[in-house]
Chain A
């Protein structure tokens, strides 16, 4: 089911951020802000909190480090062959492999985290999407029932929207 909504198009991210604050005060819930660049005021207005992507990085890094040591130690034990007078499980040289795998797994897990949480790749355009949002305009989409759409439109215009349309 597609929820109805209203999109306001702004020339400035600060105005969009201001509109979020105003609409929230009037009791609206559910916003999406689109823009060509991330805007600090928008992020503050949406009060979204810290992204969980960092947990992926940590998990990937720890897993990579552990797999690095596990791979090197386990494979060395498959043949108890002393090479160069060093112990069979020689931890010092294995640090290099563990480090590289920690970075590799950490990076791949970070990529996975970004893709999962940003919901990418996305095959179909979102509701209310506009090509200008990757150029020089910011968009604010407010989800609202049809009876409150007029109020949302008025608030968006008041906040400085250049253009307002229903979706």
Chain B
């Protein structure tokens, strides 16, 4: 294979932004149809009332909150790859970070919908914002739900800004090599970037500090989400390991989603020269680490329940593994903690088919993890009188399907309108003479 040159990089990446073919429009139409179906289900729920969802006493949090936690989790690995690996100077992140960051932005846009969907009167969502009511009573800042508003709001703002900052030099390249409306579009988005030494100097300094700020942020966000549960006294939720357990799970699911999305992207856009097998292998190795942490957390949860001597904790965990939600529980254990161990085998982590299969499995497993933690705990807390089962209704399943389509819709637009691999950072790593 010819060594890459600056010009070749521009040509290859800009080619992915050329007008799409019929397959793309077909996929877009399908995705839009699913979104519309989800919107219809939500509209039906608003008109009829939350009772159309399967939510009731004692399970007041179900599929919507599961989706919320799942999508916030998916949003995590983008910032992990773009910020933490940047600070560690892991050079292999270059090719994958742009798509991972885009994934973060779209996942958090999806996650943000669910607290609204979960509201009985979604038009009052602004009650969560810190402003006083007519009696000068402010929101209660001791409530984890309000911490969540701040954590998710900050994460959304910072990840969008970080994503945009990273794009600026690439947008300038796109501006200079396109014509017509595209030139104007990229010209405005690139803020008139010229690549002068002054711009680079402040840009790089700013980028470093963004990465330094995003790193503790990413850890804090899923910790705060986990405290939505851990701060309560529900058996199965009230646990000190929740923050690290949730953060590891979030990165686990996010990495799996990166692989799930990048493999088809690489194939369709013929980016084999950029997204190397080594990159996927490194992602798979990271998944081994997060998979082991998640597996360890599952064990520690059971150990804590046993060692606490608390009968309610005992009962909840016994019920998880053997009760009504046992199938979901065993899907979670198998797909999240056992399946990723196959990545220890080199042949598995270098084969696209295995990579895709296992990452899809982890995506499913992580969704069920959230479902098991949320639903199985609420369904079986304290006295048997208050036990009750929950199953999602067609409304919840339709909105869930719509949320996946919504995420994919944004990703499809991203793949066609923005460079899905950072041209600038790829060039930076090329040898000197490639210019």
Using CB atoms and an 8 Å cutoff, list the residues of chain A in contact with chain B: 11-14, 31-38, 42-43, 46, 48, 50-51, 53-54, 57, 61, 71-72, 75-76, 78-79, 83-84, 86, 90, 93-94, 96-97, 99-101, 103-104, 106-108, 110-111, 113-115, 117-126, 129, 131-138
Contact of B10 with A135 in the complex, beta carbons under 8 Å: yes
- Taking CB atoms, residues of chain A closer than 8 Å to B209 are 53-54, 57, 106, 110
Using CB atoms and an 8 Å cutoff, list the residues of chain B in contact with chain A: 5-7, 10, 130, 132, 136-142, 146-147, 150-151, 153-154, 157-158, 161-162, 165, 169, 172-173, 175-177, 191-206, 209-210, 212-214, 216-217, 220, 224, 424, 427-428, 432-433, 435
- Taking CB atoms, residues of chain A closer than 8 Å to B200 are 35, 38, 43
Contact of B176 with A42 in the complex, beta carbons under 8 Å: no
Contact of B154 with A103 in the complex, beta carbons under 8 Å: yes
Contact of A111 with B198 in the complex, beta carbons under 8 Å: no
- Tell me whether A12 and B432 are in contact in the complex, defined as CB-CB below 8 angstroms, given that A104-B158, A135-B177 are known contacts: yes
Write the nearest CB–CB distance from B105 to chain A, whole angstroms: 14
Task: Pick from B5, B137, B157, B202: contact of A117, CB below 8 A.
Answer: B202
Would you mind naming 23 contact pairs between A and B with Cβ atoms under 8 Å apart?
Answer: A32-B197, A36-B6, A36-B427, A50-B205, A71-B130, A71-B141, A72-B141, A79-B137, A97-B141, A97-B147, A100-B147, A100-B154, A104-B154, A107-B158, A110-B210, A113-B206, A117-B202, A118-B199, A120-B192, A123-B192, A133-B195, A134-B173, A136-B6
- Taking CB atoms, residues of chain A closer than 8 Å to B173 are 36, 134-135
- Tell me whether A131 and B206 are in contact in the complex, defined as CB-CB below 8 angstroms, given that A71-B130, A79-B138, A120-B199 are known contacts: no
Task: Pick from B141, B161, B194, B217: contact of A93, CB below 8 A.
Answer: B141
- Taking CB atoms, residues of chain A closer than 8 Å to B203 are 38, 114, 118
Closest 10 CB pairs of A and B: A122-B192, A136-B6, A75-B138, A51-B205, A114-B206, A121-B191, A131-B176, A38-B200, A117-B202, A72-B141
Write the nearest CB–CB distance from A27 to chain B, whole angstroms: 20
Contact of B161 with A107 in the complex, beta carbons under 8 Å: yes
Question: Closest chain A residue to B11 by CB distance?
Answer: A135
Write the nearest CB–CB distance from B81 to chain A, whole angstroms: 18
Write the nearest CB–CB distance from A125 to chain B, whole angstroms: 7
Q: Give CA–CA (A54, B7) in the complex, Å.
A: 33
**Chain A CB within 10 Å — which of B173, B199, B214 has the most?**
B199
- Tell me whether A36 and B138 are in contact in the complex, defined as CB-CB below 8 angstroms, given that A101-B154, A136-B5 are known contacts: no
- Tell me whether A129 and B151 are in contact in the complex, defined as CB-CB below 8 angstroms, given that A38-B200, A96-B224 are known contacts: no
Contact of A136 with B10 in the complex, beta carbons under 8 Å: yes
Contact of B206 with A53 in the complex, beta carbons under 8 Å: yes
Question: Closest chain A residue to B207 by CB distance?
Answer: A114
- Taking CB atoms, residues of chain A closer than 8 Å to B195 are 34-36, 133-134
- Tell me whether A99 and B130 are in contact in the complex, defined as CB-CB below 8 angstroms, given that A84-B142, A104-B154, A113-B206 are known contacts: no
- Taking CB atoms, residues of chain A closer than 8 Å to B196 are 32-34, 126
Question: Closest chain B residue to A11 by CB distance?
Answer: B435
Write the nearest CB–CB distance from A113 to chain B, whole angstroms: 6
- Taking CB atoms, residues of chain A closer than 8 Å to B204 are 38, 51
Contact of B132 with A78 in the complex, beta carbons under 8 Å: yes
Question: Closest chain A residue to B5 by CB distance?
Answer: A136
- Tell me whether A33 and B427 are in contact in the complex, defined as CB-CB below 8 angstroms, given that A57-B213, A78-B132 are known contacts: no
Q: Give CA–CA (A138, B195) in the complex, Å.
A: 9
- Tell me whether A103 and B158 are in contact in the complex, defined as CB-CB below 8 angstroms, given that A34-B196, A126-B196 are known contacts: yes
- Taking CB atoms, residues of chain A closer than 8 Å to B206 are 51, 53, 110-111, 113-114
Q: Give CA–CA (A107, B83) in the complex, Å.
A: 13
Q: Give CA–CA (A86, B140) in the complex, Å.
A: 12
Q: Give CA–CA (A104, B130) in the complex, Å.
A: 15
- Taking CB atoms, residues of chain A closer than 8 Å to B205 are 50-51, 53-54, 114
Question: Closest chain B residue to A141 by CB distance?
Answer: B196
Write the nearest CB–CB distance from B131 to chain A, whole angstroms: 10
Contact of A134 with B210 in the complex, beta carbons under 8 Å: no
Q: Give CA–CA (A115, B322) in the complex, Å.
A: 58
Task: Pick from B150, B158, B199: contact of A97, CB below 8 A.
Answer: B150
- Taking CB atoms, residues of chain B closer than 8 Å to A46 are 197
Contact of A38 with B428 in the complex, beta carbons under 8 Å: yes
**Chain A CB within 10 Å — which of B191, B201, B212 has the most?**
B201
- Taking CB atoms, residues of chain A closer than 8 Å to B191 are 115, 120-122
- Taking CB atoms, residues of chain A closer than 8 Å to B136 are 78-79
Q: Give CA–CA (A126, B196) in the complex, Å.
A: 10
Contact of B169 with A51 in the complex, beta carbons under 8 Å: no
Contact of B157 with A108 in the complex, beta carbons under 8 Å: yes
- Taking CB atoms, residues of chain B closer than 8 Å to A31 are 197
Q: Give CA–CA (A38, B130) in the complex, Å.
A: 42
- Taking CB atoms, residues of chain A closer than 8 Å to B130 are 71, 75
- Taking CB atoms, residues of chain A closer than 8 Å to B217 are 100, 103
Q: Give CA–CA (A99, B217) in the complex, Å.
A: 9
